[in-house]
Amino acid sequence: MKKLLILLGLLAATPVWAQGIDELPKVHARLVAEDLAVPPGGSITVALEEDIREGWHTYWINPGDAGAPSEIKWTLPQGWSAGAIQWPTPKRLPVGPLMDYGYEGKLWLMQKLTVPADAKAGDTVTLKAATYWLVCKDICVPEEAALTLPIKIGPAAPDPAVAKDFAAARNLLPVASPWKLNYALSKNLDLYADAPALAAAHPVEADFFPDKPGIVKGAEPQKMGFTKDGLVLRLSPGDKALGMTGALTGVLVLKSSDGSIQALTVDAPSGPVPDAFGAGGVSGEAAGGITLWAAILFAFLGGIILNAMPCVLPILAMKALALAGHGGGRHHEAAREGFAYSAGAILSFLIFGLVIVLLRQGGASVGWGFQLQEPIAVAGFALLIFAVGLNLSGVFEVGSITMGDSLAQRSGPFGAFFTGVLAVAVAAPCTAPFMAAALGFALTQSVTSAMLIFFGLGVGFALPFLILGVWPKALAFIPKPGPWMLKLKQFLAFPMYGAAAWLVWVLAQETGANGVAIVLAAFVIFALAAWLWTVTRDLSVSGRWAGTVAALLVLLTSLYGISMLRGEGAPPPATSATANAKPFTPERLASLRASGKPVFVDATAAWCITCLVNEKAVLSQPGIKTAFADRKVEYLIADWTNRNDTITKMLSDNGRSGVPLYLYYAPGADKPVILPQILTEAGVLDAMKG
């Protein structure tokens, strides 16, 4: 239905008459009964015949990359019932860069209707059906017809006039596979038929049609290979296949050298698939040729570099304060906190990765940084960072240094653990070099493989502070704890306030002024709660209890305000460094590429600091703007600030799970140049020269 609405929107924007298409029906439809009469308690097969005009097509149950299947809505007498539509074997119908699954010519969609036992013999009942279909050529036209069919109740009497037609229609239905089928999912989606007879017969062509959208990339070639015991069909998995654990279902069509076609229903469980394509046939190589171990190494390196990304710096300031407390020789405590910080960071990456993998297996289109596409999560992070800033400023005291304790008092492993957790939470908007390819690979793998990659990311992220904790000489430059630490603590509150302000700006991109007003009110209310907590600590027991209750009530009011953002959010306007930028859509990209124009795609988000730095420092520079203008480069913005399944799919198709992603399509090129996450002016110019 979603695809149908998209197509209807395109239709509204491009009227039929503007394309020179006449207004006559493109499909002539009628209902045909197999029998002249049906007995009480019996059943009868009825077909919807679609006589499709030459050059046009309608759609299968899974229409492919675009379209909508035909529908039959029956109005039946009381007690009658209709079975499922029996879908004939579809055809692959390429439309530009898209691949549709559907039908041309004359189509029969059969259904079995069951008659109640109390139907009265001799009666004639009139069946009514509201039928709908989308018929496409260069454009798509939704059509419908209200059809009727009289059926006589009486002894079964086949209609000889249509017997051959029904027999021909049944010959087009797929049949149960006589062979065991199973599949394996890694970089590729491999379907295996354990059938020595197929290995001997060597079909000349094989096509698999999944009965659910998004399982395979329909426009990608399907490669057939053979082992001594059967046939392997290699497919390119779509975004809905990632993390798939259930059966692979659809239709497998085999074409023999004599031209005969055999269509088999597929209900294949996951299982071993022999290598039919040489070394590494189903070894799990990633896009671009990396393996699982290479992905783990990339994740490890990306985790190390992630420490230098701007989104993590405010939290690293907190960790720097904790390390300052170990100057002057308290190295055993530094080691304990280094391990605690590492445990918090690694565990957070594992949990975060597991959530993403499970959501994707459940059908959600999410990627790295997905939580910041939810306004309530952005507001919650902003409030948390603001609270840390208030703590560092001394408005309330929970943490590494308290006004009433010795300046040498440390937060200990518990505080270090949650510093690691918080560091990972705010690192989510950033993607470091090496990290993008590793995470893109991780989200195509099993849960176990994905967790190994996220573990490598966590170890790399935690390693610098772990080294500082376990290597005493690394802390030799830090002076002994003293009054200077209080000033450092207060100073480090300002990076936290800056991070909170940035998150409020992100929220403004997602929700507008209303969201900003809500979160700023939450800030004020939270600050009041913190102040109430602090000023009542020196009172009597009853006074402290009253202060605690008052602070909690005010805090709950703040959190309630944040909860009001649930469900808020609207697509933000595309912003870019180029005045002539247009919003990204697959259709616009395909159209520009088909016309031979160079295209630069900027996948970005308001919460992605790396993206914003690249846009300010590189993409907005006069040299880049001049180069784009001189080469007539079309600039497309894929704004991922809010949830957008189309952009998520585009990222996945290019082996990425988050932003930034920069693609340059040269005129006539089959594939884009993927630029690094950290852009340079020279790098962008070189990509356009290649």
Report how far apart, in Å, the C-alpha atoms of 147 and of each of 49, 72, 74 are: 11, 10, 10
**pLDDT higher at 619 or 379:** 619
Mean pLDDT rounded to a whole number for the chain:
80
Plot region of 547 (φ>0 → left; ψ -120 to 50 → alpha; else → beta): alpha
- Range name among 245-254, 311-320, 337-346, 413-422 with the lowest pLDDT average: 311-320
- Range name among 207-221, 263-277, 309-323, 325-339 with the lowest pLDDT average: 309-323
In this prediction, residues 5-34 reach a mean pLDDT of: 64
Chain segment 155-167, per-residue pLDDT in tens: 998 999 999 999 9
pLDDT value at position 439? 78
> Among all chains, which residue has been given the structure tokens 């207004």?
23
pLDDT value at position 476? 62
Report how far apart, in Å, the C-alpha atoms of 75 and of each of 8, 31, 79, 313, 364 are: 26, 13, 11, 65, 36
Q: What are the start-end ranges of the E strands in 175-260? A: 175-176, 180-185, 189-194, 205-210, 223-227, 230-235, 248-255
pLDDT value at position 232? 92
Q: Residue 20 CB: number of other CB atoms within 10 A?
A: 7
Q: What is the largest CA-CA distance in the chain?
A: 104
- Range name among 390-394, 555-559, 575-579, 597-601 with the lowest pLDDT average: 575-579
Tally the C-alpha atoms within 13 A of residue 504's C-alpha that lie toward its C-beta: 20
CB neighbours of 674 closer than 8 A, spacing ≥ 6?
654, 655, 661, 662, 663
- Range name among 396-400, 443-447, 464-468, 515-519 with the lowest pLDDT average: 396-400
Chain segment 137-191, per-residue pLDDT in tens: 878 899 999 999 999 999 998 999 999 999 999 999 999 999 999 998 888 899 9
Task: State percent of the chain over pLDDT 90.
Answer: 29
Q: Where are the alpha helices (DSSP H) in 443-479?
A: 447-470
Give, rounded to a whole angstrom, the gap between the first and last alpha carbons of the chain: 41
Q: How far apart are CA 76 and CA 127, in angstroms?
A: 6
**pLDDT higher at 321 or 152:** 152
pLDDT value at position 79? 93
Chain segment 111-136, per-residue pLDDT in tens: 999 999 999 999 999 999 999 999 99
Contact, 681 vs 625, CB < 8 A?
no
Phi, psi of 263 (to 5 degrees): -110, 125
207 pLDDT higher than 80:
yes
Strand partners for 27 = 52
pLDDT value at position 114? 96
- Residue type (1 letter), 351: I
Chain segment 67-101, per-residue pLDDT in tens: 899 999 999 999 999 999 999 999 999 887 889 99
pLDDT value at position 139? 85
DSSP single-letter state for residue 654: T
pLDDT value at position 533? 79
17 pLDDT higher than 90:
no
Burial status of residue 135 (CB atoms within 10 A of its CB: 0-12, 13-18, 19 or more): buried
Q: Residue 82 CB: number of other CB atoms within 10 A?
A: 16
DSSP codes, 372-392: GGSHHHHHHHHHHHHHHHHHH
pLDDT value at position 133? 95
Phi, psi of 512 (to 5 degrees): 85, -160
